[in-house]
């Protein structure tokens, strides 16, 4: 096809020679463009949609993997349920309790106060050469019942709550809530509670004010003040005790019923941990079923992926360890958290199980020489609030597992900032294992921030970096993750656990 002279900015009228020159020029241009593109491809860092990179069998595998993941989410809606579910799952795969005196290995699990778990596979190398560790957390933001929760007001019975972790309070009103947890009765016996998840079971709910009357009480306030924590009271009953002269008839009626059904008295709430969580199952999201929507994906997506990755890592050179922590959402305080000595205790027991004396020097060397992933979620770029992200460094849905070099806030404060050398190694193993990955940070520099477990493990001297799935609607009752990213998280963890040390 001839080239129009005006396109090329040619003032002369068309002559034969001219046309040939133009064709030659155009070919040169195309060649140049090709070279430029090739150079860009070589030199630029550009993320890639995981879906584009995945073969048909990967895509099927990703959807299948997420079916198992959704089942896990449904069974594991609290830290206790997650710890129990992890143990149940791995026992079915031949894992046995970690007992220092036995040579029961190589596949073992340990559990700490029913809320915090560890899985390990003994490697071929001595432990003091270092372990390969993935740490995630299995607690999620929720509403805990107070220790003296039951009261009545305006002929209705309620349970008072104290929220746990970072929630946006307006997201928790006017929705069905399920009650999960445990009560310890006066005689020491315990009662596990799980009400509101199955079809036909009742749910609880927190009331919200009708819009007609909300002008002063809510609309004129700032969003965080519109719903206050002390008003997050769960509606629990509405039937009175038959004696019309009795006081607190609604509270009495409910307590009588709880006593008949479960042999409970009001004092039993003192020794209870009862959590209100969004009722309902994990769901596929999108007409193409490309995403998972569920409560508690922070951080059970990483917990599930690390469990599956560990189960699929056969005869690792170094001992591999998956840790599932509690209390991350309230700053990792307490003896089931990342600040507890649970990990050290597990490593000491692993030494003894491997037939080696757990001398302090060796345990310290083992931890110092370890390489770890702090497996936690990051916030994906929100399409409606792009202004809070810095788009060159924000994680995006669908771009694979997210590596976060540092977290923290206000000048990397409170962050464990991973070393360049370690980032380099992580990059190499992900690239050589065909893991689609991206990097992320938590929002614009002065926008806010948050922390993870990384800094607590870094205290032992091990190398550690944050790595996990990017979520939308993080910390909400219905968090969203892309199936391709979930699958890449699993693949990344598997590559990490099985990679050779250079
Ligand atoms: Mn969180
Ligand atoms: Mn988290």
CA of 63 from ligand 1 middle (Å) equals: 25
Measured over the CA atoms of residue 97, residue 100, residue 104 and residue 105, the dihedral's sign is positive
In the predicted structure, residue 64 carries a pLDDT above the cut 80: yes
Q: What is the pLDDT of residue 421?
A: 97
C-alpha 298 – ligand 1 centre gap (Å): 5
Question: Residue 103 gets which letter from DSSP?
Answer: -
C-alpha angle 111/114/116, rounded to 5°?
55
| CA of residue 158 to ligand 2 center, whole Å | 30
pLDDT band at residue 360 under the 50/70/90 scheme: very high
Domains defined for the chain, CATH in brackets: 50-140+295-498 (3.40.630.10), 142-278 (2.30.250.10)
Q: Tell me the average pLDDT across 451-470.
A: 95
Give tens-digit pLDDT for 369-378.
999 999 999 9
Stronger pLDDT, 70 or 104, i.e. the higher one? 70
Determine the Cα–Cα distance for residues 83 and 180; give it in Å rounded to an integer: 14
pLDDT bin (cut points 50, 70, 90) of residue 411 is confident
Cβ < 5 A residues, ion ligand 1: 298
pLDDT at residue 172 tops 90: yes
In this prediction, residue 14 carries a pLDDT of: 52
According to the model, what pLDDT value does residue 134 have? 98
**Comparison of pLDDT for 23 and 127, the residue scoring more:** 127
> What's the pLDDT at 277?
98
In this model, does residue 8 exceed pLDDT 50?
Answer: no
Question: Quick one: which ligand is closest to 301's CA?
Answer: 2
Statement: residue 76 has pLDDT above 50: yes
- From ligand 1's centre to the CA of 452, what distance in Å? 8
pLDDT at 153 over 60: yes
What distance in angstroms lies between residue 133's CA and the mean position of ligand 2's atoms? 17
- What number is the average pLDDT over the span 180-204? 98
How many C-beta neighbours within 10 Å does residue 423 have?
15
The phi, psi pair for 63, rounded to 5°, reads -65, -40
pLDDT of residue 103: 64
Higher pLDDT, 26 or 246: 246
Q: 13: how many CB neighbours lie within 10 A of its CB?
A: 7
Query: Model confidence over 437-452: pLDDT tens digits?
Result: 999 988 888 887 788 8
Mean pLDDT of 174-180: 98
Question: Quick check: 19 pLDDT over 80?
Answer: no
Q: What percent of the chain has pLDDT over 90?
A: 86
* CA 182 to ligand 2 center in whole angstroms: 24
Whole-number mean pLDDT of the chain? 94
Residues 6+ apart with CB under 8 A from 222: none
Question: What average pLDDT score do residues 78-85 get?
Answer: 98
* Helix/strand/coil (H/E/C) assignment for every residue in 269-332: HCCEEEEEEECCCCEEECCCCCEEEECCHHHHHHHHHHHHHHHCCCCCCCCEEEEEECCHHHCC
Ligand 2 centroid distance, CA of 328 (Å): 7
Closest CA to 452 of 320, 343, 339: 339
Q: How confident is the model at residue 197 (pLDDT cuts 50, 70, 90)?
A: very high
Residue 414: band (very low, low, confident or very high) from pLDDT cuts 50, 70, 90: confident
- The pTM for the full model equals 0.93
> 106 preceded by cis ω (within 30°)?
yes
């Amino acid at each position: 096809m001839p080239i129009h002279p005006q396109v090329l900015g040619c003032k002369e009228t068309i002559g034969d020679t001219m046309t040939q020159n133009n064709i030659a020029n155009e070919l040169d241009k195309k060649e140049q463009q090709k070279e430029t593109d090739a150079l860009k491809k070589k030199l630029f860092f550009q993320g890639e949609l995981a879906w584009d990179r995945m073969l048909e069998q990967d895509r099927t595998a990703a959807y299948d993997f997420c079916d198992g993941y959704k089942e896990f989410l449904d069974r594991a809606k609290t830290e206790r349920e997650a710890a129990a579910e992890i143990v149940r799952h791995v026992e079915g795969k031949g894992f046995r309790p970690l007992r220092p005196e036995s040579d029961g290995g190589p596949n073992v699990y340990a559990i700490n106060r029913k809320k915090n778990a560890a899985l390990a596979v003994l490697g071929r190398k001595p432990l003091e050469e270092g372990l390969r560790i993935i740490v995630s957390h299995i607690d999620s933001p929720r509403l805990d019942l107070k220790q003296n929760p039951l009261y009545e007001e305006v002929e209705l019975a309620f349970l008072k709550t104290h929220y746990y972790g970072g929630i946006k309070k307006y997201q928790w009103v006017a929705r069905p809530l399920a009650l999960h947890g445990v009560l310890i009765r006066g005689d020491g016996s315990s009662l596990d509670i799980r009400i509101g998840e199955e079809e036909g079971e009742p749910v609880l709910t927190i009331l919200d004010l009708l819009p007609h009357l909300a002008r002063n009480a809510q609309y004129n306030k700032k969003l965080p003040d519109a719903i206050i924590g002390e008003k997050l009271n769960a509606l629990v009953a509405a039937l009175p005790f038959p004696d019309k002269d009795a006081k607190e008839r609604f509270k009495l009626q409910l307590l009588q019923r709880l006593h008949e059904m479960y042999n409970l008295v009001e004092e039993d709430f003192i020794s209870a941990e009862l959590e209100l969580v969004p009722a309902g199952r994990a769901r596929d999201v999108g007409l193409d079923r490309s995403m998972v929507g569920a409560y508690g994906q922070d951080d059970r997506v990483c917990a599930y992926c690390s469990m599956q990755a560990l189960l699929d890592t056969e005869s690792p050179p170094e001992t591999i360890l998956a840790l599932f922590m509690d209390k991350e959402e309230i700053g990792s305080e307490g003896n089931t958290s990342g600040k507890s000595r649970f990990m050290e205790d597990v490593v000491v027991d692993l030494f003894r199980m491997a037939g080696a004396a757990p001398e302090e020097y060796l345990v310290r060397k083992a931890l110092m020489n370890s390489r770890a992933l702090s497996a936690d979620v990051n916030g994906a770029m929100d399409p409606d609030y792009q202004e809070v992200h810095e788009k060159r460094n924000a994680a995006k849905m669908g771009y694979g597992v997210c590596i976060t070099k540092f977290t923290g806030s206000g000048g990397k404060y409170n962050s464990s900032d991973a070393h360049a050398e370690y980032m380099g190694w992580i990059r190499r193993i992900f690239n050589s294992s065909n893991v689609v990955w991206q990097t992320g940070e938590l929002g614009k520099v002065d926008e806010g921030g948050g922390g993870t477990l990384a800094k607590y493990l870094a205290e032992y001297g091990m190398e550690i970096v944050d790595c996990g799935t990017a979520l939308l609607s993080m910390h909400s009752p219905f968090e969203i993750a892309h199936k391709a990213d979930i699958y890449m998280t699993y693949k990344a963890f598997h590559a990490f656990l099985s990679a050779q040390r250079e």
